Amino acid sequence: MGASVNQDLVSEGEKRRLFLVLADDTPDALMRVLGVANVQQTRLRSLTAQPDGAGLTIRLEVDDQGDDRAQFLAARLAAAPSVRSVGFGWR
């Protein structure tokens, strides 16, 4: 039996950022977003993606690497093809 982590019990030393990405619902939209996260060497902790009308809502939770890195990642995500908008904050 594998161990599970309760995401509500994240310790102070394990701060995380939550990114909400709205994209066109294209076959490659999720892979493009994940490609940006990979190139930026983010440590992905949680991922959900679901169709939302004519679009796709992608929720990424990553380890915090500071404000500058979060802003840079948000800008790179926003520049990805198919991405309509990006928002981010603390988890």
Evaluate whether residue 29 is within a structural domain: yes
Evaluate whether residue 49 is within a structural domain: yes
Q: What share of residues in the chain are helix, strand, coil (percent, to 5)?
A: 35, 40, 30
The CATH number assigned to the domain holding 50 equals 3.30.70.260
What is the pTM (predicted TM-score) of this model?
A: 0.81
Evaluate whether residue 4 is within a structural domain: no
Evaluate whether residue 6 is within a structural domain: no
Q: Domain count of the chain?
A: 1
Q: Is residue 7 pLDDT above 70, yes or no? A: no
Evaluate whether residue 3 is within a structural domain: no
At 33-87, the pLDDT tens digits run: 999 999 999 999 999 999 998 899 999 999 999 999 999 999 999 999 999 999 9
Distance of CA 68 to the CA centre of its chain: 16
User: What integer pLDDT is reported at residue 13 of this predicted model?
Assistant: 59
* Cα Rg of the chain (Å, integer): 13
- Structural domain range at position 41: 16-90
